[in-house]
Amino acid sequence: MSNIFEDESLVGSRRKNPIFKDKKPLDHRFLPDKLVHRDEQIRQIAKYWVDVLDNVTPSNVTLYGKTGTGKTAASKFAREQLIEAANNENVFVKIEYIRCTDYTTEYQVIAELCNRLGRDVPNRGWTKAEVVNAFRELFRTNAFGRKLHLIVILDEIDILLEKDGDGILYTLTRTDNISVLSISNYLDFKNLINSRVTSSLNDKEIVFPPYGANQLSDILNERALLSFNDGVLDSDVIPLCSAMAAKEEGDARYALDLLKNAGELAFDEDSEKVTSDHVRRAKDRIEHNKVSEILSTLPLQQQRLLEAILTLTKQGEEITSGKLYEAYSDVSKSDAVTYRRIFDFINDLELLGIISTNTVSRGRGKGRTNIIKLQCDEVLLETALYTI
Ligand SMILES: Nc1ncnc2c1ncn2[C@@H]1O[C@H](COP(=O)(O)OP(=O)(O)OP(=O)(O)O)[C@@H](O)[C@H]1O
């Protein structure tokens, strides 16, 4: 059989893509040369970090803001600039970026930092104290031959704090020559931290507000110039992506996803232009992928519970827990779990944002009832449920 990658249709599409010039700039990990509308925040980070150029350990900083507001991009941007300035001034600085979804415990973060600094530490097997000692030793013994300043960026820190407590911040902020830049989605992130640690965080906080539609348009215009061939975007495409993303809490990542998916749909359909219709369908496609992704990770019984919720919703019924249990037992038959377990499942599905629950009072003496509602599109859910 001939090689599928050499198939005429694929070779053709690689050589000349009528829509995209280069898709990379639409990828989440792409770091653009300039971050429009984030000058102020980058300047603030620089104001704290600049101390390091005078050999002074910078203050710890916390960045707050909802998802897709440019926190990661701004901190990586500041990192690049500081590394360049430090090289020019011959100051020894390392800035290590750690995504706490990948390293979810203090042990893992410290071991990873040791490894990046050239001290081999196993990913498991040692005690936490041993790993912390090995790490501190690097700074105590001047292992690098000259004074190293380490700035640790802890992105999505909430995940680590929830899972493993605030020991990581304690360890890092109590080691000489280290400063931490924490990135959090929640303004109340300090509630997860003990006061012994908050005191060393020094309250240097930078807020990233959600982007408005016009700001999102500026961001998309910059990326579109790099990614799309001239003239392929209809004039209403970027304004529409921006307006839709502004509604989704000003999330630049979502705006970029809409634009990229709209372009891919246009390409798949051999269209010469990307239109607002592609954007609308891109929105459905993204939601569909999101729902499918969530569903594919759900245990079977929870999927069955969702099937039951879907059936009742389609029948136009008000869904109480009692009614739901009956419908669920019909779907699950002999392997149905107990009525009590259903409440855990309902809780989990609510946390995932697929359903919502609302407790209503039925009037005097009649007690209270839980009303369950679907929070995602019925058709999307149905397709996703029956295709996984
Ligand atoms: N001002 C901007 N200019 C250009 N691109 C931007 C800007 N702000 C965000 N982006 C882009 O939007 C995407 C999401 O941004 P980023 O990852 O920095 O958000 P975040 O606030 O860290 O989100 P999360 O909390 O979900 O991690 C990235 O691809 C980033 O490059």
Domain 298-387, architecture per CATH: Orthogonal Bundle (1.10)
Q: Is 184 close to ligand 1, i.e. is its CB under 6 Å away?
A: no
Q: Is any atom of ligand 1 closer than 6 Å to the C-beta of 216? A: no
**Residue whose CA is at the smallest distance from ligand 1 atom 3:** 35
Domain boundaries, the chain: 39-208, 211-294, 298-387
Given a contact cutoff of 8 angstroms between Cβ atoms, the answer to whether 73 and 211 are in contact is: no
Residue listed under structure tokens 């350990």: 57
pLDDT in tens, 335-357: 888 888 888 899 888 888 889 88
Angle among Cα 83, 86, 89 to the nearest 5 degrees reads: 155
79 lines ligand 1 (CB under 6 A): no
Residue of 68, 83, 84 lying closest to 35 (CA atoms): 68
Q: Is 38 in the pocket of ligand 1 (CB under 6 A)?
A: yes
Is the beta carbon of 219 within 6 A of some atom in ligand 1? yes
Pocket test residue of 69, 98, 157 for ligand 1, highest count of atoms within 8 A of CB: 69
Instruction: Report pLDDT for 15.
Output: 55
Neighbours of 26 (CB within 10 A): 21
Q: Are 154 and 109 in contact (CB under 8 A)?
A: yes
Residue list for the binding site for ATP: 69-73, 211, 223
Tokens of residue 46, six digits: 């620089």
Q: Is 157 a pocket residue for ligand 1 (Cβ < 6 Å)? A: no
Does the CB atom of residue 100 touch ligand 1 within 6 A?
no
Is the CB–ligand 1 distance for residue 28 below 6 Å?
yes
Ligand 1: which of 66, 72, 158 to mutate, judged by most atoms within 8 Å of the beta carbon?
72
- Does 68 sit in the ligand 1 pocket, CB within 6 Å? yes
Residues 6+ apart with CB under 8 A from 136: 175
| Cα four-point dihedral sign 145, 147, 153, 154 | positive
Q: Residues near 96 by Cβ (< 8 Å), separated by ≥ 6?
A: 113, 116, 150, 151, 152, 153
Q: Which amino acid is at 228?
A: F
**Residue 219 token pair:** 């961001």
* 217 ligand 1 Cβ < 6 A: no
DSSP 3: -
CA nearest neighbour of 202 among 224, 169, 238: 169
**Rounded to the nearest 10 degrees, how much is the dihedral formed by the CA atoms of 112, 115, 121, 127?**
-30
pLDDT digits (tens, 9 = 90+) for 285-312: 998 888 888 888 888 899 999 999 999 9
What gap in Å lies between CA 151 and CA 86, rounded to an integer? Answer: 13
What superfamily does domain 39-208 belong to in CATH? Answer: P-loop containing nucleotide triphosphate hydrolases (3.40.50.300)
Cα of 207 to ligand 1 centre, how many Å? 14
Q: Do the beta carbons of residue 97 and residue 68 sit within 8 Å?
A: no
**DSSP 3-state assignment of 377?**
coil
Question: What is the 359 CA–ligand 1 centroid distance (Å)?
Answer: 37
Q: For the chain, how far is it from start to end, CA to CA, in angstroms?
A: 31
CA-CA distance, 278 to 292, in Å (whole number)?
Answer: 21
pLDDT of the residue at 271: 94
Instruction: Report DSSP state, residue 370.
Output: E
Q: 3-state DSSP call for residue 189? A: helix
Mutate-to-test residue for ligand 1 from 186, 227, 253, 254, highest number of ligand atoms within 8 A of CB: 253
* 72 Cβ inside 6 Å of ligand 1: yes
- What pLDDT is stored for residue 237 in this prediction? 98
Give the distance (Å) from ligand 1 centre to CA of residue 45.
16
153 lines ligand 1 (CB under 6 A): no
Which residue is closest in CA terms to ligand 1's atom 2? 35
The CA distance from 157 to 166, in Å, is 10
237 φ/ψ angles, rounded to the nearest 5 degrees? -65, -50
Helix ranges, the chain (H): 8-15, 39-49, 71-89, 106-116, 128-140, 157-164, 167-173, 195-201, 213-227, 237-247, 252-268, 276-296, 300-314, 321-332, 339-351, 378-387
Amino acid at 116: R
Binding residues: 69-73, 211, 223
Q: How far apart are CA 169 and CA 337, in angstroms?
A: 42
Instruction: Give the pLDDT score at 10.
Output: 64
Give the residue among 56, 46, 81, 68 at the shortest CA–CA distance from 179: 56
For the chain, the C-alpha Rg in angstroms (whole number) is 26
Alpha-carbon span 24 to 17, nearest angstrom: 14
Quote the ligand 1 centre to 120 CA distance (angstroms).
33
The residue ranges of the chain whose pLDDT is under 70 are: 1, 8-15, 200, 202-203, 362-367, 388
Q: 211-294 has which fold?
A: Helicase, Ruva Protein; domain 3 (1.10.8)
Residue 155: beta bridge partners?
99
CB contact at 8 A, 91 and 78: no
Going by alpha carbons, the residue nearest to atom 10 of ligand 1 is 70
If we measure between CA atoms, which residue out of 334, 319, 69, 329 comes closest to residue 207? 69
Question: If you measure from the C-alpha of residue 265 to the centroid of ligand 1, how many angstroms do you get, rounded to a whole number?
Answer: 23
Cβ–ligand 1 contact at 206 (below 6 Å): no
CA dihedral 208, 214, 215, 218 (to 10 degrees): 170
